[in-house]
Structure 1
Amino acid sequence: MGQEEDIPPFDPQGAVYVYAAMADHIAARIAAGDLRPGTRLLGERALAEEYGVSIGTARRAVEVLRRRGLVVTLAAKGTYVSDGDQSQSPTDEQRDAEA
């Protein structure tokens, strides 16, 4: 657990929207233990820079993670990995609904 080899590489050129690929990558990092419950995510600008995407894409990825229950955002504090069950991965239907 927490091994980087457990986390697939981020692929913005794949068959899914970039924000969905980014959300999936962050979700994989959470599932692998790289991002533990209570860990503060980088801000949207820093996430966008780290992933090489626009701030809008980073914002939408964080929104998807919130809807999945993987992160919570506290006003004026930031976004944190939630303490809930993060073992569930979204179905294709859930991903389509997010698009």
Structure 2
Amino acid sequence: MAPEQLAPIVDPEAPVYVYVQVADHIAARIAAGRLKQGARLPGERDLAEQYGVAVGTARRAVRELRERGLLVTLPAKGTFVAGR
């Protein structure tokens, strides 16, 4: 993911949890092919900085995407876009 500032994606006034907004945005990037299978995501701290959210929120978004089957996390390796 490019180190762009993604804070405008998150709307704290929206009726959806912020972590869901972050997860949905990353999922959309995967669906659009901007994040390809096997691509490594930035660390949770970097994601938090890019989206302008707390580290815990970024962590919960990554967990949400793992539960959806879109990401896999390999200990000491990182988090990657899952294969189809």
Aligned residue number for residue 97 of structure 1: none
Q: TM-score, normalised by structure 1?
A: 0.74
Q: Which structure has the bigger radius of gyration?
A: 1
Does structure 1 retain, via aligned residues, the 8 Å contact 2:10–2:51?
Answer: no
The residue type equivalent to 1:29 in the other structure is R
The residue type equivalent to 1:81 in the other structure is V
Aligned mates of 1:27, 1:72 — CA distance in 2:
13
Aligned mates of 1:81, 1:27 — CA distance in 2:
10
Aligned mates of 1:31, 1:49 — CA distance in 2:
23
Which gives a bigger RCO, structure 1 or 2 (Cα 8 Å, sep 6+)?
2
Q: CA shift at 1:11, angstroms?
A: 3.0
Give the 4+ runs in structure 1 shifted more than 4 A. Answer: none
Does structure 1 retain, via aligned residues, the 8 Å contact 2:48–2:58?
Answer: yes
Aligned mates of 2:72, 2:82 — CA distance in 1:
6
Q: TM-score, normalised by structure 2?
A: 0.87
Q: How many residues align?
A: 76
